Amino acid sequence: MIGGNPGYVIKDGKKLRCGYTTGSCAAGAAKAAAMMLRGEEPDSVEIHTPAGVLLNLAVNSRRMEKDQAVCSIIKDAGDDPDVTHGMEIFARVRNRQDGRVLIAGGEGIGIITRKGFCGEVGEYAINRVPREMIRSELKKVGDLGYDVEIFAPEGVEKGKRTFNENIGIRGGISIIGSTGIVKPMSEKALLDTIFLEMDQIKLDHGTDGLLLVPGNHGEKIAREEGISLPSVKMSNYVGESIQYAYGIGFRSMTILGHVGKLSKLSIGAFNTHSRICDIRLEAFIYHLALMEAPIGFLNQVEKCLTAEEALHLCLDHGYGQVARKMESSAEEKIRRYLKDDGIEIKVTIYSMERGVCPC
């Protein structure tokens, strides 16, 4: 694919525009700055990405600072809800005479504080692929060598809204990207983040125990319940998350989540997104039937609009133990999924109004 358009993907029947990574921005800005050092004033630069896409990136700003050139590229994440979308990524470049390209970070680029990210503790969070892209593009401009500083003035504030703190990067954003291209709503990107957090927990705490929650509210409930295990937000990816955790050595896991999601897990759904499976009420009816609830009550449950409503109905009519049945069933489903009857699994369901169940 040639030109400034990195392409499209089809997601849920919609055509969504792809974007480009902070790594591509850094490479483009560095190349534009190197071109300025040889007397050019580029309005745009072409860079090759590992995805095989040739990007034509507009140079947003350019200036000379004595013997250094500074250029910037605006990050465009396409239709992906990326925190760094619209950020200005800068490169400050100076000529060398020994053929080497030395890359450092500056304002707004995070520092690696723990093992696990691609780099050493104390280094700037610019991972391997962007570094290779920067070196490759600069060598196309000249072979004398360059000192390169990547910086992003908005990075300190933007970094607070990313997962960086969870994986040991502080003080700014990270310059990342394995392909140079951002695919909208990429499941792979989210899973990679989840897995990286688990890797970090293993490095920091070992594999004695892990808490998995769908989102922020689960972490809040866990704190209220006195659960002090290191936690990871798994979103809807129950299967992938427990499988990865198991694969890196965790044999004790606690899963805490809202009844709307974990009711699905209780009858074997390992991706809980409503677009993939909406079987909340079916889960209630299944477990209530095993509890020998009368058909009239099952019909009442079937008319509920939400899992929360169904749970309240059960609690008010003496069937609150359905939550315990769901938890036990989910634990058994996980053991079967991992093919390990000896793994220590604890599943806890909560209600938004009544807290951990039964109430």
3-state secondary structure of 187: helix
Q: Is the peptide bond before 358 cis (omega within 30 degrees of 0)?
A: yes
- Give the torsion sign (CA, 271, 273, 275, 278): positive
Mean pLDDT, range 13-36, rounded to an integer: 92
**Rounded to an integer, what distance in angstroms lies between the CA atom of residue 30 and that of residue 233?**
35
Structure tokens at 92: 């400050």
In contact, 116 and 168? CB cutoff 8 Å: yes
pLDDT of res. 2: 33
**CB neighbours of 38 closer than 8 A, spacing ≥ 6?**
141, 142
Q: 23 or 358: which carries more pLDDT confidence?
A: 23
Structure tokens at 237: 């990816």
Mean pLDDT, range 268-279, rounded to an integer: 89
Q: 255 or 11: which carries more pLDDT confidence?
A: 255
Which pLDDT tens digit goes with each residue over 212-251? 999 878 888 998 999 999 999 998 999 999 999 999 999 9
| Owner of token pair 């109430």 | 359
Mean pLDDT, range 139-165, rounded to an integer: 93
- Identify the CA nearest to 248 among candidates 190, 200, 188, 215: 200
3-state secondary structure of 252: strand
Q: pLDDT grade, residue 10 (50/70/90)? A: low
pLDDT of res. 346: 97
- Give Cα separations from 155 to 29, 73, 83, 128 (angstroms): 16, 14, 10, 19
In contact, 322 and 330? CB cutoff 8 Å: no
pLDDT of res. 328: 97
pLDDT of res. 3: 40
Structure tokens at 41: 């004033």
Which pLDDT tens digit goes with each residue over 280-333? 999 999 999 999 999 999 999 999 988 989 999 999 999 999 999 999 999 999
**Rounded to an integer, what distance in angstroms lies between the CA atom of residue 28 and that of residue 217?**
40
pLDDT of res. 357: 65
Mean pLDDT, range 256-260, rounded to an integer: 94
In contact, 59 and 44? CB cutoff 8 Å: yes
Could you give phi then psi for residue 180, rounded to 5 degrees? 85, -10
To which H or E segment does residue 110 belong?
none
Confidence check: pLDDT of 199 > 90: yes
Q: pLDDT grade, residue 26 (50/70/90)? A: very high
- What domains can you pick out in the chain, each with its CATH number? 8-182 (3.30.2110.10), 187-356 (no CATH)
pLDDT of res. 11: 64
pLDDT of res. 111: 95
CA 331: distance to chain centroid?
26
| Owner of token pair 């965790």 | 250
Q: pLDDT grade, residue 109 (50/70/90)? A: very high
Confidence check: pLDDT of 164 > 60: yes
> Among the residues of the chain, which ranges form H helices?
22-37, 128-141, 155-159, 187-205, 216-224, 238-247, 259-265, 280-290, 295-302, 307-316, 322-338
In contact, 178 and 131? CB cutoff 8 Å: no
Provide the mean pLDDT of the chain.
91
Burial grade of 85 (CB within 10 A; 0-12, 13-18, 19 or more): middle
**Rounded to an integer, what distance in angstroms lies between the CA atom of residue 175 and that of residue 164?**
11
In contact, 106 and 92? CB cutoff 8 Å: yes
In contact, 175 and 104? CB cutoff 8 Å: no
3-state secondary structure of 194: helix
